[in-house]
Amino acid sequence: MRSKLVKMMLLFLFLGGCAAGSKEKVLKVFFDGVPPSGGASHESLEGVKDGSSDALCQKETDAERPIAIEEKKVFVHYPYEDRDCSACHLSNSSQSLKEEVPALCFSCHDNFLEKMEKKHYPAEEGMCLECHNPHQSENEKLLTHKGRELCFSCHDQEDLFKVEPHNEIGDESCLTCHDPHGE
Ligand code: HEC
Ligand code: HEC
Ligand code: HEC
Ligand code: HEC
Ligand code: HEC
pLDDT tens figures, 39-94: 343 333 343 334 344 444 444 444 455 555 667 899 999 999 999 999 999 999 99
Higher-pLDDT residue of 74, 34? 74
* Rounded mean pLDDT, 118-141: 98
**Proximal ligand: closest to the CA of 173:** 5
ω into residue 165 within 30 of 0, thus cis? yes
Residue 180 has pLDDT above 80, yes or no: yes
pLDDT for 67 equals 56
Predicted local distance difference test score (pLDDT) of residue 68: 57
- Which position has the higher pLDDT, 25 or 112? 112
Q: Is the pLDDT of residue 152 over 90?
A: yes
Q: Report the C-alpha gap between 39 and 49 in whole angstroms.
A: 10
Give pLDDT, residue 183.
Answer: 77
d(CA 149, ligand 4 centre) in Å: 13
Average pLDDT over residues 90-113: 97
Mutate to test the pocket of ligand 3, among 46, 128, 149 (most ligand atoms within 8 A of CB): 128
Q: In ligand 3, which atom is closest to the CA atom of 102? A: 38
Spatial CB neighbours of 13, under 8 Å, sequence gap ≥ 6: 64
Average pLDDT of the chain to the nearest whole number: 75
Mean pLDDT to the nearest integer, 109-127: 96
pLDDT of residue 72: 80
Nearest CA to ligand 4 atom 26: 120
Burial code of 112-124, b = ≥16 C-beta within 10 A, e = fewer? eeeeeeebbeebe
The whole-number average pLDDT for the span 100-117 is 97
Which residue's alpha carbon is nearest to atom 17 within ligand 2? 46
Looking at the CA of 46, name the nearest ligand: 2
By percentage, how much of the chain surpasses pLDDT 70? 62
What residues have CB less than 8 Å from 58, skipping those under 6 apart? 22, 25
